[in-house]
Amino acid sequence: MEKKELRELGWRAEKHDLENLSSKKILSKKPLSKAMRKYLEKKLESSLLNCGEKIPMHPIALCIPVSYEYPHFFRTLRSLHLSAMKALSYLGENYQAFSIVCCINARENDALEVKENNAKLLHELRRLQKTEFDGSFMNLHILDYSHEGAYFKKKDGVGLARKIALDWALKSGAEVLASLDADCLVSENYLYTLALFYQKYKNKSEWALCGFSHQEPAEKAHKKAMDAYETYLHEHSRFLFDIESPYYPVALGPTIICTSEAYVRSGGMNKKIAGEDFYFLQSLIKLNLKKRIEDYLFLASKVYPSARLSKRVLFGTGTALEEILGGKKKGFEKKQYIAAKDFFSLFNTMLLSFYEREEKSIEMLLEFEKKVKNSSSQVYAFLAEDRFWIDWEKIVKTHFSSKENLRKAFFERFDGLKTIRLFNYLAEVHKGDS
């Protein structure tokens, strides 16, 4: 990217806009909780011990894995800058400064083109770090995992990169962690809503989600595929909400925001090469399965993930679009939804009727197995193969005295991953049906 183009991006806030921002916006150190101390001792990414520069970490950190994203990443930074300016105009002297943490990464077996692309990006980011992201308005942390001795192994990928960025922010003292993608744009009010979450809501909700809408592709067929994929995501989420599953939110990395305490209590980000955002959100949801699904916190802002075609990961937006363009239908058939709905309806009806009775017995709850078998032999077979009924008996005997505890234990056992596996099992059973 030419220097002229970089200048035209207009990074800086005007000097007079920053005069009222005091040093108190930099995070003050607080005593570590037991969970925090345990995470830092046992689960913190070990390569971070001698990583990064000594730059102050603001209370809110935007954590971004970056690989082969020159010059696209500058659009993301520009989007964040515009959002920060809008937050400044809304909040005035209550403006909350932000830190951007980017993990520039490449695998040891990646093509030279990837490593050279990262090198160009690193050069420009280091210049911007000193000239444009150097104050209390917004600063930039650069973690370089794209050089000899620091390359990822062949089996590593976006999960590890996301974990490194998040762990660095945590280690450096951030209180709110937001996950973003390097090719993702944000709405103008995005950082304003993160500031509100930090200032007003983080003690009421340990995590939050913002809305999303993928960037619109230029090509007609590509756009049609993108529309079909988003329709599937929203319809599937709505179905899970209707059956009262706590795992109903769409799991997209750039939509996830959480407190540092929630991050460590959930076990932190995993290192999976794909689907890391799904597993991380599931872990956050499991922190409080007694929480009503109507009480989940959704911020009034949006992120705009890229709609680029890609096969860099085993599954995700890019891979799904490739499959749809190749003629594969995304989603599940009506009969699979009906079978799953009947299973969850039986569970919810059983809970309601059981705890309304004056006289209760464990045997009444154990009859759930017989009812599922009579309703759907395929769902019953899946659960039997999964050894669910053995665990169900233990769950009932341990938690039957409390409706809330029984429901919590059920969804700990039958979580979001298990729900997807049920759908995939039913799809396989019905393959070839007319």
Q: What pLDDT digit, counting tens, does each position of 197-207 carry? A: 999 998 899 99
Q: How confident is the model at residue 50 (pLDDT cuts 50, 70, 90)?
A: low
Calculate mean pLDDT across residues 227-253: 94
Structure tokens at 59: 């209370």
User: How much of the chain exceeds pLDDT 90, in percent?
Assistant: 71
Calculate mean pLDDT across residues 171-194: 97
pLDDT of 434 > 60? The answer is no
Q: How confident is the model at residue 432 (pLDDT cuts 50, 70, 90)?
A: low
pLDDT at 170: 97
pLDDT of 21 > 90? The answer is no
C-alpha 76/C-alpha 181 separation (Å) is 8
CB atoms within 10 A of CB 14: 9
User: How much of the chain exceeds pLDDT 70, in percent?
Assistant: 85
pLDDT at 310: 61
In the chain, the domains with their CATH numbers are 3-325 (3.90.550.10), 334-429 (no CATH)
C-alpha 407/C-alpha 401 separation (Å) is 11
H-helix or E-strand containing 332? none
- Among 163-167, 198-202, 313-317, 347-351, name the one with the lowest average pLDDT: 313-317
Segment 147-158, tens digit of pLDDT = 999 999 999 999
pLDDT of 6 > 50? The answer is no
Calculate mean pLDDT across residues 228-236: 91
Beta strand 138-145 with 207-212 is unpaired
pLDDT at 433: 65
pLDDT at 36: 96
Q: How confident is the model at residue 334 (pLDDT cuts 50, 70, 90)?
A: confident
pLDDT of 312 > 60? The answer is no
pLDDT at 47: 87
pTM: 0.90
pLDDT of 354 > 50? The answer is yes
pLDDT of 384 > 90? The answer is yes
pLDDT at 331: 67
pLDDT at 210: 98
Cβ(169)–Cβ(63) under 8 Å? Answer: yes
**Cis peptide bond N-terminal to 71, omega within 30:** yes
pLDDT of 5 > 60? The answer is no
Burial 302-339 (b: 16+ CB within 10 A, else e): bbbbbbebeeebeebbbbbbeebbeeeebebeeebbeb
C-alpha 343/C-alpha 379 separation (Å) is 8
